[in-house]
Amino acid sequence: MLRMTLAALLALIATTFSHAHEITPTIINAEISSDNSLQIQLDTNLEALMLGVGSTHEDTDDSPLAQQYNALRATPAAQLETEARSFAEELSKELRFTGSQGEALNFDFRLMSVNVTENSDLEIARESVLLYRAELNEALNGLALSWPEPLGNFIFRVTSGGELKAGLYVMAGEQSDLVELNATGTQNQGFLDYIVIGFEHIIPLGLDHILFVIGIFLLSQSWRALLWQVSAFTLAHTITLAMATLGLVSVSPSIVEPLIALSISYVAIENLFHHKLSRGRIALIFGFGLLHGLGFAGVLGEIGLNPEAFISSLIAFNIGVEFGQLAVIALMYLLLGIWLGKTQYWERWVRIPLSVLIALVGLYWFFERIL
């Protein structure tokens, strides 16, 4: 039984070598202009959208359509823009809007443009922008949006009269909350919604953060050591998450993401040489937590927070992240710690092999993200 558990866990970690093509949610910007028109802009992974791999798989490599997806990514931008126009025109019909009374709103959208970024690195998903425009026959009081589940999760941002009215994270196949267009201020996710978003950013989407937390867990079986490390990590990522969300600090993902991968490897490698908690380890975890906080900030930044909702959304998102981290630790304890933590097999069968494997995955991600 224990061998089967170990084998399954090792296989799970090993599969993360291929998880470099996570599918990010489409950002749907709806702008109601003073000239009584509605403009819709989709910032999206067009290739994933065309193949409908956005909801059933968190990673394009897991899809049976991975080969077709990679072929589309290799298509020159100008060619894909031409080939995707018919798909983009049909896609506008899949945008299902409802009004303040729950009535269906039918807009006659015109496709204005399809812009695809030239793909210089096939290991990185490129961004595409689809732009639509429709004339409004009457004033809108409220707006809600849904689209088919295969198109994946999306972020719904609504602007009216130059004022941001809402930034909502919507799960695939579900309808967004109603955005009240005549209300003052910005409508954002509810407190519980942000907890869910934070949790999902760890499980199942945050594979790099999961491995980092497992690396923390593997240092020592002492709950005191675990508590100190988790506390340092939480405090640090809260600081940079807050600063980045407020716009006080901005670091390119091209810098942050490789460093996050390197932090995973370093923590795992250190486990091979140290068995007890030290002040240096706490400081190290704190420093790496600052990096991970910058990674977390990208999620909240895409939703489009405003200062009015900053405190509540930050607290809720952090609670979700902590729940995710605690779930990882609890799972590791139930699968391995409770059975092997106090036995002679812990070092030989668990601590050393898992730390080596995590270090290798982190190094793989590091070189993948810089090359």
Taking the C-alpha atoms of residue 117 and residue 85, their distance in angstroms, rounded to an integer, is 15
Question: Is 96 inside any structural domain?
Answer: yes
Which amino acid is it at 33? Answer: S
Of 146, 166, 188, the last residue of a domain is 188
Q: Are residues 104 and 84 in the same domain?
A: yes
Residues whose CB falls within 8 Å of the CB of residue 77, separated by 6 or more in sequence, listed in order: 116, 117, 118, 119, 126
In 3D, which of 331, 240, 233 has the Cα closest to residue 293?
A: 240
Question: Is 3 inside any structural domain?
Answer: no
pLDDT in tens, the chain (371 residues): 444 444 444 444 444 444 435 567 888 999 998 888 999 999 988 888 888 775 554 555 556 667 787 888 888 889 999 999 999 999 999 999 999 898 999 999 999 999 998 876 666 678 899 999 999 988 888 999 999 988 888 888 888 888 778 778 888 889 998 988 886 655 555 677 778 888 888 887 788 889 999 999 998 878 888 899 999 999 999 899 888 877 788 888 778 888 999 999 999 999 999 888 899 999 999 999 999 988 887 766 665 555 556 677 788 888 888 899 999 999 998 888 788 767 788 888 888 999 999 999 999 989 888 87
Question: Is 2 inside any structural domain?
Answer: no
Of 133, 161, 188, the last residue of a domain is 188
Q: Are residues 256 and 301 in the same domain?
A: yes
Q: Are residues 228 and 165 in the same domain?
A: no
Q: Are residues 108 and 236 in the same domain?
A: no
Q: Are residues 182 and 207 in the same domain?
A: no
The residue segments making up the domain with residue 179 are 26-188
Q: Are residues 43 and 154 in the same domain?
A: yes
Q: Are residues 227 and 309 in the same domain?
A: yes
Q: Are residues 234 and 357 in the same domain?
A: yes
Q: Are residues 203 and 95 in the same domain?
A: no
What stretch of H or E contains 27? strand 26-32
* pLDDT on residue 181: 84
Of 188, 209, 240, the last residue of a domain is 188
Q: What is the pTM of this model?
A: 0.66
Question: Is 4 inside any structural domain?
Answer: no
Q: Are residues 133 and 208 in the same domain?
A: no
Question: Is 155 inside any structural domain?
Answer: yes
Which amino acid is it at 69? Answer: Y
* pLDDT on residue 12: 47
Count up the domains in the chain and report the number. Answer: 2
Question: Is 240 inside any structural domain?
Answer: yes
Instruction: At 192, give phi and psi (nearest 5°).
Output: -65, -35
- Residue found by looking up tokens 């702008």 in the block: 31
SS (H, E, C) 37-49: EEEEEEEECHHHH
Which pair of structure tokens corresponds to residue 14? 């090993």
Q: Are residues 48 and 135 in the same domain?
A: yes
